[in-house]
Structure 1
Amino acid sequence: MTDSTSDSETDEFDDVVDRLSAAVEKTEDDDSSGQTGTAKTVDVDEIIDSDGDIDLYDARDIGRAIAGDLIGSPLDGIVEVGEQDDDGWRVVAEVVERTAVPDTQDILGRYVISLESDGTVHGYGRAGRYRRGSVETQSEIFATEER
């Protein structure tokens, strides 16, 4: 009876090891593709409609697709999208500039990305930096001027 229990436990252990090895290989393959986290690489041309103009959702998606590469830090999220006076879009993205443990001590940067009406990047700049856990000073940091 102990032999069959041992064989069963060994088979279960081998199965767990095989699944873990496959998961590690998949993670290494994903990391080698140049993508960070679980974000998908999106082709900006696929977002833009055939008429060439973008709407609010397109501006958000373009900002999400280009922010990490443009700024050079992993995207944390798109926090604001709005129209600009000169017929373009203003996308505000937050990126992780420095990771820390615990993650409430991460340093986040808030960047303003200006898009033209056809989705091309007109410019970008950092509007502020703060610790992820610092909620008492965010109102001052987030008073971003249009760029």
Structure 2
Amino acid sequence: MNETLKKMSNVDESFVKPLPNSEKIYVAGSRKDIQVPMRRITLTDTIGELAEKNDPVYVYDTSGVYTDPSVKIDLRQGLSNVRSNWIEERDDTELLEGLSSDFANKQRDDQALEALRFEHLQVPRCAKRSECHPNALCSSRHYYT
């Protein structure tokens, strides 16, 4: 790996340091092997005549593990696949035999880009066609409900 990429492979600590008045937590998802990243935000107490203690607010943390102080981030390695068991067990996707777009194949074959590649690439997945809907592919939006 060249020196520039080596320097770029770690995230600058200022981007992942703890946020003021908040704590990174994980909440159990619908499965015990899925932990949902959340943030517990501490609020100041209400002041004045109606003074009261304010409970913390919990929000979904879209930064994932990037702001988890216990996780070492290496951009060249990528993130761990935390939902792989769930995806496999759903049995509604399959691994592609290869890259499916001309652009992706051209990028893969371009030796000038070799120094920029991730150290490991995951095999892409695609939705399986169902027997009842042979022309319908499932998208990530399907899982929002």
Q: Which has the higher contact order (CA 8 A, sep 6+)?
A: 2
Question: Structures share a fold, TM > 0.5?
Answer: no
TM-score (norm 1): 0.25
TM-score (norm 2): 0.25
